[in-house]
Structure 1
Amino acid sequence: MAVTTSPVDETAIGELKAEVRGPVLQPDDDGYDEARTVYNAMIDRHPGIIVRPTGAADVIAAVNFAREQDLLVAVKGGGHNVAGLAVCDDGLMIDLGLMSSVRVDPDARTARVGPGARLGDLDHETAPFGLVAPAGVVSITGVAGLSLGGGFGYLCRKHGMTVDNLLSVDLVTADGDLVHASEDDHPELFWGIRGGGGNFGIVTSFEFELHELEEVLAGLIIYPADEAHSVVRSWWEFISEAPDELSVWLNFSHAAPEPFISEEYHGERILSVIPIYSGNVEEGWDVIAPLREVGDPIADTVEPRRFVDWQQAFDESYPAGERYFWKSHNFKSPSVEALDHITDYAVSPPTPDTRVSVTHLGGAVNRVPSDATAYPHRDADFLVNITTRWHDSTQDDECIAWTREYFDVLAPHATGGTYVNFTTEPEGEQSMAYRENYERLVALKNEWDPDNLFKMNQNIKPTS
């Protein structure tokens, strides 16, 4: 399919404006720059047209317009994708931000969520009912992108990935049809959506299963960098026997001037061990007791908290509008050498704002067969996400080179798969991300999008 880089005929744009209810923006219009802006400041692209749908009918009209005009299409949910795939140069950007409704059915324990909703919107609506959706850990993350790539958070060991809690979707296909996909309707398409990204269409509604939870036992156990190697080794020994109710994440960062951290450590590199226990709080104290006895922490903030509050704990640590370059690896039964390599780089980043997070997996995540959903990484014990962050474009080369080097050093110790939501650039073939599910996804792409209209994603290329 050809891609138009010259302006579309104004008559055609006028017809599009007449057909949709939401705004249709061009470069000189108010709101254009705000709509094209995404999370990563390294991304500065300029679509020829931006459509901001208010409902599925507008999405259908936008898809039909793009297909008929041979336009490159980018789809923005929350705009949080670090690779900037939500925006394109010259073509058509479909910004779903106005479709952000969340409707909770507390009796059925389900939520119907629009594709423009953020995790904070979802948490805000479920919390009054004492319910939660297993999702991510930063409030500004878009529900759509997180869910379509797999999705994990503090509850994944107990309740599975976000895709494991997805009951159904409504989706606009490349032909402009609105289809419902679930285990009963278009089950193969539903399989592909759960981890296959936005390759098969634009989801206009997600239905999630919810779970009861109001309070967790959570907080930070903080260590200076010179204790990091021994603490990481102890962490691995501890989590190997952890119950599903417990997730223990790691986060390497520079210490902020928080009152619970001694001033002598402000601005210094630290390791935060982050337990989150979602079972009975009193029992949780006993479960995490051995973890709190490791080493000589400089702070311990573990206490009972509302889960909805803890979901926002790291929002300020991953702000929008900074320069980012991310890479990730999955690990299973790591060697001491692998743990030491993870720590070596994590305590010596190129910038103070760079974070390295270690996501505790296993539990319910790994009890799902690798071919049950398109998301295939069901054997990993944890994931390392290298979140390199800086301010000045003069640091681009240094920061990108360091991240790539770190990724390459870890590669021989990792499982050989990457997480599509944490990918700034292609890690080689997309088969690395989808592993044994890749060919099945290609067959789905051939069926639902043979001309590859939806290519601004971690693209699964059709063979037709």
Structure 2
Amino acid sequence: MPSLYCFVALGITLTQALAAAYTNPKDYAQMPVPRQSPLPSESVQQGLGPSLSKNASIFGPDDSRWPDATERYQDFAVPQVQVVVQPGVEDDIPTIVKYANEHGINFFVVNRGHSLTSTVGRFNGIQIDVRSLTDISINKDAMTAKLQAGARNYETIDVLWKEGYVTTTGSCSCVGMVGPALGGGHGVQQGVHGLIADNLIGLNVVLANGTAITVSETSYPDLWWAMRGAGHNFGIVTSFDMKIYPVTVPSYYYRNYVFTGKHVEPLFEELNKFHANGSLSPTWGGAFGVYTMEPSVSTTEATIFWTFIYGGSKEDAAADLSSFDALGPVAVDEGDVPFTSISDILISGLESDLCAPSKVHITGTAGLQVYNVTVQRQLYDLYNKKVSKEPLLSGTKLVHEGYAVEGVLRGKPEGSAFPLRDDNLLMYFDAMPPPNSGLEDFAFQWARETEDLWNAGEGEWRKPTTYVNYAAGHESLESMYGYEPWRLEKLRALKAQYDPLNKFAYYNPIVPLES
């Protein structure tokens, strides 16, 4: 995801099923956590350790490695981890799962800890930490790459680029690859090559009972369908193969604009023309914007930042950008960068504030087809009203992601569990109440009001949609997994087949945990 939009990305490689929809994400934090007897790390070390590879580790809260291993992007409704197990090799994971099952212990898999949803707050047990499994290998003859579960976006982009290849990734450097892929996986390459999930070839998966299998179009094809869009509910991906493509665009042109409140209506009218209701040329990586406070521009009203990414030269991009130049922006910045630097342009590089861990994020999201200009004005005015009342929330961001979608639309809607191929635009609200400010409830209300405006702007004919990787935890199952009745029926049937005891029940679950 682009820049100021790192929030998405959801680094939990695996996780576990979904919970029921609640009015407020705080409901999950307040619900009883599934009971788990105290779990001394010493007993796990003694019982499990001898069965694992020599590089595996098992430790508890007293270990010096604990803070790094349990650190998360989202500090609201965090999982209750009692013991961390770090596999040394992929083959350790089936052994860990079988041990947990034999001893009645809940397990939860994490690669980068970027999960946003409050549903993970109901976990209590062993964290399987796959961050050390980062191997990336390229098969040039087959035009594929094999990635282990801990591989991050920036590592994948860098390794492939050095060999003359690209693939579909998210746009936030610090997020893992497999977590977003299991929920679809949006990114700058999607206009040309489709979602991350569209480029998967095969998955090495550990099922809830500890069985290791390979899942592909020809091996467990029913699970192959489910894993691409609802995969967090079905198994642990230990590694996966995906398509790669020769680099054909050596340099990307970007142009950054700064606008103010007077530009709202003309800006969004031009953006609707630019995106052309899902017909933006895939030569464009997309156009991405944010409402936020910038004191150097205004201390009383939100500033509007917009970034355009083009796979080519400034001269070729100029015609499509001339109407934005004509709006009279406050400032303009531009340049050319390789694909490896796009995350830095989008302010989502490794050292960016958006990759900073341990913040409370109060979020909301919606999928749109076009921008409702009237609603965008209402959102802008609401932003100013809320920040005027609670200045400590001046860092709140309303993020607008407008990727090219041609490659996404090539995928058949019925071909995978990902149901939202007609979402042309992704919206994201992120408020970060300071510690001990008591502003969580205020931020929750603002987030819901924002979501309501986004969805109302789509009209009565279109129901709310939720990109599962951006879900906060209160959204309906239908909005995440599809309104067609057959979709949830199929997912529930597969859940009963592959995870009948609901071991994977913590990440936007299809089958909610019992209270």
TM-score normalized by the length of structure 1: 0.90
Task: Indicate yes or no: 2:282 matched with 1:244.
Answer: yes
CA gap of 1:55–1:342, structure 2 versus 1, over 3 A, is: farther
Q: CA deviation at 1:461?
A: 1.4
**In the alignment, what sits opposite 1:461?**
511
Query: What is aligned with 2:19?
Result: none
Match in the other structure for 2:263: 227
Tell me what 2:217 maps to.
183
- Cα distance in structure 2, aligned partners of 1:453 and 1:311: 35
Cα offsets for 1:340-377 (capped at 9, x unmatched): 34444456664222212112243221232221111110
1:231-265 Cα shifts (integer Å, max 9, x gaps): 12221122215312211222223338xxxxxx555
Confirm or deny: 8 A CA contact 2:261 2:380 kept in the other structure.
Answer: no
Letter in 2 for 1:228: V
1:400 match: 444
RMSD: 2.5
Task: Tell me if structure 2 keeps the 8 A contact 1:47–1:88.
Answer: no
Report if aligned partners of 1:123, 1:132 keep a CA contact under 8 Å in 2: yes
Contact 1:75-1:93 at 8 Å conserved across structures: yes
Whether 1:384 and 2:427 are equivalent positions in the alignment is yes
- Alpha-carbon distance in 2 for matches of 1:114, 1:91: 24
From 314, 328, 338, the counterpart of 2:365 = 328
1:23 correspondence with 2:60: no
Q: 1:109 and 2:143 equivalent?
A: yes
Give the counterpart of 1:170 among 169, 181, 204. Answer: 204
Aligned 8 A contact 2:253 2:336 in 1: yes
- Matching residue's letter, 2:479: M
Measure the CA separation in 1 of the matches of 2:153 and 2:122. 24
- Cα distance between partner residues in 1 of 2:315 and 2:494: 46
Find the partner of 2:465 among 405, 417, 426. 417
Matches within 5 A, 1:290-439: 290-313=322-345, 314-315=347-348, 316-318=352-354, 319-345=356-382, 350=387, 351-361=393-403, 362-394=405-437, 395-414=439-458, 415-428=463-476, 430-435=477-482, 436=484, 437-439=487-489
Contact 1:3 1:70 in 2 (8 A): no
Instruction: Quickly say closer, same or farther: Cα 1:400–1:69, change in 2 above 3 A.
Output: same
Deviation at 1:303, TM superposition (A): 2.4
8 Å CA contact 2:137–2:146 kept in 1: the answer is yes
Task: Tell me whether 1:444 sits opposite 2:494 in the alignment.
Answer: yes
> Does the CA-based 8 Å contact 2:300-2:384 persist in structure 1?
no
Partners of 1:457 and 1:365 lie apart in 2 by 24
Contact 2:264 2:377 in 1 (8 A): no
TM-score between both structures, scaled by the size of structure 2: 0.82
Contact 2:34 2:124 (C-alpha < 8 Å) held by counterparts: no
Once the two structures are TM-superposed, the CA of residue 176 in structure 1 deviates from its matched residue by: 1.0
CA distance 1:299–1:334, shift in 2 (3 Å): closer
Alignment of 1:268-287 (within 5 A): 269-278=302-311, 280-281=312-313, 284-287=316-319
CA gap of 1:44–1:196, structure 2 versus 1, over 3 A, is closer
Q: How big is the shift at 1:382? A: 0.8
8 Å CA contact 2:302, 2:383 repeated in 1: no
The verdict on how the C-alpha distance between 1:221 and 1:442 changes in structure 2, with shifts beyond 3 A counting, is: same
> SS of the counterpart of 1:312?
helix
Distance 2:475 2:251 in 1: 39
Aligned partners of 1:443 and 1:462 also within 8 Å? no
For residues 225 and 20 of structure 1, the distance between their equivalents in structure 2, rounded to whole angstroms, comes to 59
Provide the secondary structure at the position in 2 that maps to 1:66.
helix
Task: Report if the CA contact (8 A) 1:123-1:308 is conserved.
Answer: yes
User: Is the partner of 1:6 in helix, strand or coil?
Assistant: coil
Distance across 2 between alignment mates of 1:132 and 1:124:
9
1:71 CA drift (Å) = 1.9
Deviates further, 400-409 or 146-155? 400-409
The alpha-carbon deviation at position 85 of structure 1 amounts to: 6.1
**CA shift at 1:433, angstroms?**
0.6
CA contact (8 A) 2:466 2:479 kept: yes
- Provide Cα deviations, 1:28-79, integer angstroms capped at 9, x if missing partner: 2221232112111224443122111122221111111221122222210111
Indicate the residue corresponding to 1:288 in structure 2: 320
Q: Deviations over 1:199-219 (max 9, x none)?
A: 111000021212324321123
Match of 2:292 among 250, 253, 272: 253
Structure 2 distance, partners of 1:226, 1:320, is: 35
- Runs of 5+ consecutive residues of structure 1 not aligned to the other structure: 257-262
- The answer to whether the 8 A contact 1:113-1:207 is kept is yes
Give the unaligned 5+ runs of structure 2.
1-32, 388-392
Deviation track 1:286-307 (CA, whole Å, cap 9, x = no partner) reads 4433344341112222322111
Corresponding residue for residue 21 of structure 2: none
Structure 2 SS opposite 1:329: strand
Contact 2:119 2:473 in 1 (8 A): no
Q: Distance in 2 between matches of 1:412 and 1:292?
A: 27
Shift of 1:81: 0.9
| Correspondent of 1:38 among 68, 72, 84 | 72
Q: CA deviation at 1:392?
A: 2.3
One-letter identity of the residue aligned with 2:430: T
CA distance in 2, matches of 1:343, 1:237: 20
The percent identity for this pair of structures is: 23
> Matches of residues 123-162 of structure 1 in structure 2 within 5 Å?
123-162=157-196
In 2, are the aligned partners of 1:110 and 1:208 still within 8 Å (CA)?
A: yes
**SS of corresponding position for 1:230:** helix
Asked if the contact 1:328–1:386 (Cα under 8 Å) also holds between the matched residues in 2, the reply is: yes
Displacement of 1:220 after TM fit? 1.1
How far the C-alpha of 1:266 sits from its partner, in A, is 8.4
